[in-house]
Structures are given as structure tokens and as C-alpha cells.
Amino acid sequence: MEQATCQQSSCGPDNTALKLKVGKIKHTFVVMSGKGGVGKSTVAVNLALSLSMHGLRTGILDVDIHGPSVPKMLGLAQEKVIVGGNEIIPHEVFNGLKVVSMGFMLNNSEDAVIVRGPAKAGIIRQFIENVAWGDLDCLVVDCPPGTGDEPLSVVQLLSTGRASAIIVTTPQQMATIDVEKSITFCRKLDLPITGIIENMSGYICPHCQAESDIFSSGGGYKLSQKFDVPYLGAIPLDAGIVKCGDEERPYLQSYPKTETSTRFDEIVERLKAIYLDLQHTEKSGSCCDGSNVQGCTGGGSCCS
């Protein structure tokens, strides 16, 4: 039997609340990787912290539903979700970095979240629509590895022209092959790519400061050339990152003056410049739902 398809727009989901929330976020950096274990969450957490330390109102949203690691990396592993009114209130750390993660919903860190497809999309929607994010300059989204439901939902929910991807890879060829899939994913979904970061790139000896290429280096840069995508920089292998991970502290807070933190800082300076440039471009006219409509000054017919 032929299935009836309702043509009434009123039958679709009401996106008003979602659009209002998204409209208050000036830019979203979606942090992705082709593979697990390349340091994507480490990079996402430290970038968010650094953006916040650079004076931008910043949030980090951990949409790794099955393996949330952001709370642990920020020393929030014991924290639970806070609800105020009808909204989730983000945890705030280090002078105002706002944090939301599936990890806050779990009773125990070993609990397994068993959801798939549409349910995941629903959870991620709530993490944007039902959270008191307030006005943010930057939202950093930490996605699970690969090109599955989570990054897809994020991109669809934030499809306002104010989101872009940051792709994290390690230098080895095996990792960069998977990153190519992430690049294809972004291109298929029209998500601009802010750039590639090569993590675990070389090793700087903490004693003599000499740099050696344990895992080789340069794979991320080569990839950026091959696909004509910006290269944002490299973060070295650093025993301090492992130590901080184990001690549940963010690296940049514990080691603000190392070569690794300088590298993070240089990347964030680039991100900040990109963010400011985007804000400048957007002044050409942005719609009240956050989308960039040429010539719209808000409140016009396209906004009703």
C-alpha cells in the first residue's frame, strides 16, 4: 500500500526554539577525526579552553554519546547534569568555559548508553535546543570519530552557515587515509573546513628540547595540500598531555609555558582571526535565525 506523505509544513518539527538557540552562537567549530585515539578530544578541550582564555565566550559540547571523555579531561567526571527551569545548565570551568556532555547524564562512568540513529539525533538536538548556552562567541563540538550519526546530526542542526570543521589527524598514513573520509563528509554536507591539525606530531624532549619524529610528521600538511584545505598547525607528542589526562586536568591549565602550549596558542590565534573575519563578513547581513542572508538586516520578510 502506498504510504501517505503529509505535505503540511505544520506536521514537521517546530524549529523555532532551535533556531533561536543556534542564532545566539556566533560560530561553531566541529572537531572531527577519521579515527579514534588520535587525540581529538584532547585537542577539542584545549582549543576550547584556550579560546575562552583569549576572551571569547566559549562552550564545549561533547556529542560522543557512547564514550564521552570531555568531563574527565576537565576534572568534571563526578559532576551530574544540572537542570534549571526547563533547561540544562552547562557546568562552568576556568572563568566561564561552558561544558555539556552525555557524561553528566550517566550515574556511573562505566554505564553504557544504548541508543541508535534517531534517538541519538534527539539527544544531540536537546544538547543544543534545551541548554542555557546564552550568547556564545564560539561553540566547540567534540564529535566521536568517523562520519556517523553524531557529526551528521550536528551539521544538520547547525546548518546556518556559522559552523565549520576542524579535522584532527596523526601523521601516519593509516590515520590520514581515514581523514580523507572526513573531508569528503564535510564537502558532501557543505560544511566548510577551517583546517587540519596534526596531533602527536614529533616529540620534543623535555630535557634538551630537541625534536624527533617518533611517528614521522607532515602527514596532516600533505593532506591539506592534496585537498586544498588550510593547515592549522601541529601539536607534538607530550608526556605532560598523558599525565594531565590521567590526573583529569586540562593540559593548558597545568602547562601554560611549554612548546606544546605555544603550538596550541598559535592555532587558537589562527582560529580567533578566522572567527573575527567571519564576524566581519557577516555584517553584510544576517537573518534573525542566525543564517547569513545577503542584504537582510533582521526583522524583514525572510525573518518572519
Does residue 40 touch ligand ADP according to CB under 6 A?
A: yes
Q: Figure out which of the listed residues 41, 46, 147, 224 binds ligand ADP, where binding follows CB under 6 A.
A: 41
The answer to whether 238 contacts ligand ADP (rule: CB under 6 A) is: yes
Q: Which stretch binds ligand ADP (CB under 6 A): 91-99, 118-126, 216-224, 239-247?
A: 239-247
Q: Please identify the residue of the shown chain whose CB is closest to the bound ligand ADP.
A: 39
x-marked contacts with ligand ADP along 198-217 as a string, rule CB under 6 A: -xx-----------------
- Region from 118-126, 188-196, 234-242, 264-272 binding ligand ADP, contact rule CB under 6 A: 234-242
Distance, CA of 10 to CA of 218 (rounded, Å): 51
How many residues touch ligand ADP (CB under 6 A)? Answer: 17
* Short-list 28, 75, 10, 38, CA closest to 169: 38
* Residue 38 binds to ligand ADP (criterion: CB under 6 A): yes
Among 88, 97, 241, 271, binds ligand ADP (CB under 6 A): 241
Q: Which of 16, 20, 24, 37: binder of ligand ADP (CB under 6 A)?
A: 37
Q: Return d(Cα 146, Cα 302) in angstroms, integer.
A: 36
Task: Name which position in 171, 245, 250, 290 contacts ligand ADP (CB under 6 A).
Answer: 245
Residue 258 binds ligand ADP (CB under 6 A): no
Instruction: Give me the 47-86 binding string for ligand ADP, x by CB under 6 A, dash otherwise.
Output: ----------------------x-----------------
Closest CA to 142 of 112, 177, 113, 100: 100
Residue 285 engages ligand ADP in binding (rule: CB under 6 A): no
- Dihedral (Cα; 150, 152, 158, 160), 10-degree rounding: 170
103 touching ligand ADP, by CB under 6 A: no
Cell of 144: 566521536
Residues in CB range of 13: below 8 A, 6 or more apart? none
With beta carbons less than 8 A apart as the criterion, state whether 18 and 143 touch: no
Looking at the Cβ atoms of 67 and 285, the one nearer to ligand ADP is 67
The residues binding ligand ADP (CB under 6 A) are 33, 36-42, 69, 199-200, 235, 237-238, 241-242, 245
